[in-house]
């Protein structure tokens, strides 16, 4: 898929303020520092389209980018940042739950996971939560340039072994590096396929 145009459509505090034009949306979420901003920038071929607005300490917001006038990439605030207060964590959960359960245009959620790490409870819990919300999602293992192929595959295997406790069918996954642009085509292909399935 060619990325022909990219336009920032706004930063919103609640799903109720998000665009209501019904265009399909593809949302990105993961632990803080997982490489979400870098991945989105890599996908759209812009150096710093996604700025640091969702960094810890800043107001948490949902950022919309319109691609090819056809669909949205949605940058959601991340989770798992240690120095966030309990009140902020609860507010985040409420905002995210409301978003995931109230967006009919939600075509796919991409949960990002750092391929260098053994399975983290906070990631597994979030994958299971996506299942409970019954939203379509895929996993994206990031920063693959930082590990050998063998170690990367082992960590993916470990993650799936954990998921097997609750999942019969394992989610689709891609492996990426924003640094080396690895996996860009395969990733964009998952978007193209989903759009085709939606007749877009
Ligand atoms: P976010 O908090 O999830 O948006 O993460 P960022 O995109 O800001 O990335 C966090 C850190 O990881 C930054 O220092 C990035 O340069 C680095 N990073 C992100 N993606 C990659 C990658 O694919 N490879 C490498 N080596 N570093 C990465």
Residues 11-59 have pLDDT tens digits of 999 999 999 999 999 999 999 899 999 999 999 998 777 764 455 545 5
**DSSP-assigned letter for residue 139:** E
Distance 61 CA to ligand 1 centre (A): 19
Q: Please give the order of strands across the beta sheet that includes 173-175.
A: 6-12, 62-67, 71-75, 25-30, 106-114, 137-142, 173-175
pLDDT at site 108: 98
Q: What are phi and psi of 183, to 5 degrees?
A: 80, 5
Per-residue pLDDT reduced to its tens digit, 90-130: 999 999 999 999 999 999 999 999 999 999 999 999 999 99
Atom of ligand 1 nearest to the CA of 180: 23
Among left, alpha and beta (phi > 0; psi -120 to 50; other), residue 69 is left
Determine if ligand 1 sits within 6 Å of the CB of residue 37.
yes
CA 12 to chain centre: 17
Taking the whole predicted model, whether its pTM rises above 0.85 is answered as: yes
**Residues constituting the chain:** 200
**DSSP-assigned letter for residue 119:** P
| Contact present, 63 and 11 (Cβ < 8 Å) | yes
Distance 45 CA to ligand 1 centre (A): 15
Per-residue pLDDT reduced to its tens digit, 50-96: 764 455 545 589 999 999 999 999 999 999 887 788 898 899 999 99
For a mutational test of ligand 1's pocket, the pick from 33, 34, 35, i.e. the residue with the most ligand atoms closer than 8 A to its C-beta, is: 35
Determine if ligand 1 sits within 6 Å of the CB of residue 181.
no
Give the dihedral sign, CA 194/117/178/50.
positive
Q: What are phi and psi of 119, to 5 degrees?
A: -50, 130
Distance separating alpha carbons of residues 198 and 195, to the nearest angstrom: 5
pLDDT at site 53: 44
Distance separating alpha carbons of residues 89 and 20, to the nearest angstrom: 27
Atom of ligand 1 nearest to the CA of 178: 23
């Amino acid at each position: 898929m060619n990325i022909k145009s990219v336009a920032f459509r706004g930063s919103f505090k609640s799903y109720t303020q998000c665009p209501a034009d019904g265009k399909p949306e593809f949302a990105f979420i993961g632990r803080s520092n997982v490489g979400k901003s870098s991945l989105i920038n890599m996908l759209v071929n812009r150096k710093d389209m996604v700025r640091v607005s969702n960094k810890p300490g800043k107001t948490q917001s949902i950022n919309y980018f319109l691609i090819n006038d056809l669909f949205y990439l949605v940058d959601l605030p991340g989770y798992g940042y240690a120095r966030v207060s309990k009140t902020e964590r609860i507010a985040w959960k409420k905002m995210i739950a409301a978003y995931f359960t109230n967006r009919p245009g939600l075509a796919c959620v991409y949960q990002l996971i750092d391929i260098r790490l053994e399975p983290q409870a906070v990631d597994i819990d979030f994958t299971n939560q996506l299942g409970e919300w019954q939203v379509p999602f895929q996993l994206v293992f990031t920063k693959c340039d930082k590990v050998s192929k063998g170690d990367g595959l082992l960590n993916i295997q470990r993650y799936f072994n954990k998921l097997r406790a609750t999942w019969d069918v394992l989610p689709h996954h891609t492996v990426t590096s924003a640094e080396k642009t690895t996996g860009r085509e395969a990733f964009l292909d998952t978007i193209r396929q989903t759009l085709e399935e939606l007749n877009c």
